[in-house]
Structure 1
Amino acid sequence: MTLQQTSDHSHLLPCPSLSHVGVLVPWANAVVETELPEWGRGRTVWHYARLVPAHGGTALDDDFLSGLIEAVPGALHQLSRLPLGRVYLACTSAAFTQLDRFTEVATGSPVRVVSAFEAILAQLRSHGARKIALVTPYPDEITEVEVIQFAEQGVIVTGSASLGQADGYAEVTLNQQAALVDQLRKEAVQQADTIVLSCTGWPTRVAIKMLRRRLGRPVTSSNKAIALHALQEHP
């Protein structure tokens, strides 16, 4: 059979079914829409809605985080006419700092809403990872809250490091990420089953590859966890 003959029958080959997934993105986040399709393996159709906090800010503080959660119902309404399997809250810190309110808002949705923090936990559990080293761009106090939330979910944080920034996460460079990881104690990295780059707002695809080679440990991020979670069969 010639190459032309083979291509003539290409329409008969089975194609993987596509899943339609909603994503709620903080309005200043410039990274989520770039990274999710790269990890989606061509099997996911991503539909985005923006979360706009009422106070109109972008800096990571209490008003911003609570404002994102309060904006969830309106963003879900934007997606309500689409045939979605599930929806993701693409802000890790909003979920773990506003857990009760997020649970309340998500419970009222006709479609399951999964936070980036939940997606990370699901990935860790699927790989039997119980200890992590945590790296974030957040202010220190936000990172400390995340350490506590991981502990409450049975995940031990062997060490953590944060940039201490409240904004501008998309501009964080690979060198900054590498330097941040270098702040971790060697023992913290060696004891960790996985390195977690928390936050959907900073670029992590290249960082994950680089850190995996350097550290000899699995590395994941908020956006990678969302993408892999979306590839699972819908409940």
Structure 2
Amino acid sequence: MSSTPSGPSTPHLVADGAAAAAAEEHAPEPRRPGRSRIGLVVPSSNTTMETELPELFRRQTEATGHSYTFHSARAALKNVTHEELLAMVDRAAECATAVSDADVDVIAYACLVAVMAQGPGAHTSSEEVMARAAAENGHPAAVVSSAGALTRVLREVGARRVALVTPYMRPLTDMVAAYVEGGGVEVLEAVSLEVSDNLAVGCLDAGQLPGIARGLDLSRADALVLSACVQMPSLDAVQVVEDELGLPVLTAATATAYEVLRALGHEPAVTGAGRLLAGGLVPAVS
């Protein structure tokens, strides 16, 4: 096509130019050095991941100077039941498409049990589906799921045997334990707090976790998963429990944050949230 419009094609080119101007006006802010965008896909009733992750990355920023912004999409979930979890999974690709409109660098699928409800290893396909949806929307991004992050990080730190704490009803806790064991890690003990309402899970007191941890038999454990749920608050307890027990303490949130940082090519330098995010458990990537 000639670069000089003429004749009947001119109106179409004018319209195209107006559309381009409108698209530019509403386009995501251009990326700048020293700043990364993180997309979150969370259950609609989640009140914790959008507080704990930004706090962790605020500490990362304090240590490194690199800044992070968060951009969320939500999928309906009120009660942590098998049926509602599977319905949320069906909306994962749609949410990935929506959050990718912000031209994010990485997407965190922050509902561990929704993925685990599909059976061991399901995080691989979930991450692939969401990555494909973002790419097809014209904004490719790495995808990290909380289920995949916890499974992979346990292996990466060399944990062969763990204990874990969940807020779920016992059947879902057993399912989470089976998922972790499907990834090659033995679950020695799994505490179930028996809370089904997801908003109520977000109101649990992290200050109770050190006492729960003290009641576990950790003599054979290589690590403790203090919160196998992104909605159960745990950040304030991680360092306390790790210092007291001397074992690596992980949570769904810290494992997710760790993998998001690695997906961005950043070394973790977060204080007060356990050795994993302080950079003391896994060798730096050269």
SS in structure 1 opposite 2:262? coil
Alpha-carbon separation, structure 2, partners of 1:194 and 1:86? 27
Residue number in structure 2 paired with 1:97: 117
Alpha-carbon separation, structure 2, partners of 1:126 and 1:19? 25
Q: Alpha-carbon deviations, 1:85-107, whole Å to 9, x = none?
A: 22111011001112557367436
Alpha-carbon separation, structure 1, partners of 2:253 and 2:185? 19
Q: Does the CA contact (< 8 Å) of 1:39 and 1:228 recur in 2?
A: no
Would you say 1:106 and 2:130 are equivalent positions? yes
- Percent identity over paired residues: 28
CA RMSD in angstroms, aligned pairs only: 2.2
Matched residue type, 1:20: R
Would you say 1:190 and 2:210 are equivalent positions? no
Q: Alpha-carbon deviations, 1:140-196, whole Å to 9, x = none?
A: 111111111111111111211110111211111134323433442x2xx12111111
Residue number in structure 1 paired with 2:87: 67
In structure 2, relative to structure 1, the CA distance for the partners of 1:16 and 1:217 (3 Å cut) is farther
Matched residue type, 1:36: L
* Worse-matched range after superposition: 140-149 or 67-76: 67-76
Residue number in structure 1 paired with 2:251: 221
Alpha-carbon separation, structure 1, partners of 2:42 and 2:103? 19
Mapping of residues 23-172 of structure 1, within 5 Å: 23-40=40-57, 41-42=60-61, 43=66, 44-53=68-77, 58-99=78-119, 100=122, 102=126, 105-106=129-130, 108-109=132-133, 110=135, 111-167=141-197, 168-172=200-204
Residue number in structure 2 paired with 1:8: none
Residue number in structure 1 paired with 2:232: 202
Tell me the matched-pair count.
Answer: 214
Q: Alpha-carbon deviations, 1:33-77, whole Å to 9, x = none?
A: 111012121243221111125xxxx11102210121122122122
Task: Give the TM-score of the pair, scaled to structure 2.
Answer: 0.68
In structure 2, relative to structure 1, the CA distance for the partners of 1:233 and 1:178 (3 Å cut) is closer
Q: Does the CA contact (< 8 Å) of 2:111 and 2:229 recur in 1?
A: yes
Alpha-carbon separation, structure 2, partners of 1:105 and 1:61? 23
Q: Does the CA contact (< 8 Å) of 2:96 and 2:130 recur in 1?
A: no
Alignment match of 1:230 (pick from 232, 251, 260)? 260
- Could you tell me which runs of 5 or more consecutive residues in structure 2 were left unpaired when the two chains were aligned: 1-31, 136-140, 266-286
Matched residue type, 2:56: W
Matched residue type, 1:113: V
Matched residue type, 2:52: E
Q: Alpha-carbon deviations, 1:103-143, whole Å to 9, x = none?
A: 67436422343210111123223322222111111111111
In structure 2, relative to structure 1, the CA distance for the partners of 1:77 and 1:16 (3 Å cut) is closer
- Could you tell me which runs of 5 or more consecutive residues in structure 1 were left unpaired when the two chains were aligned: 1-14
Matched residue type, 2:39: G
Q: Does the CA contact (< 8 Å) of 2:127 and 2:144 recur in 1?
A: no
SS in structure 2 opposite 1:73? helix
Alpha-carbon separation, structure 1, partners of 2:35 and 2:262? 12
Matched residue type, 1:181: A
Alpha-carbon separation, structure 1, partners of 2:81 and 2:183? 24
1:234 Cα deviation after fit = 4.1
Matched residue type, 1:79: V
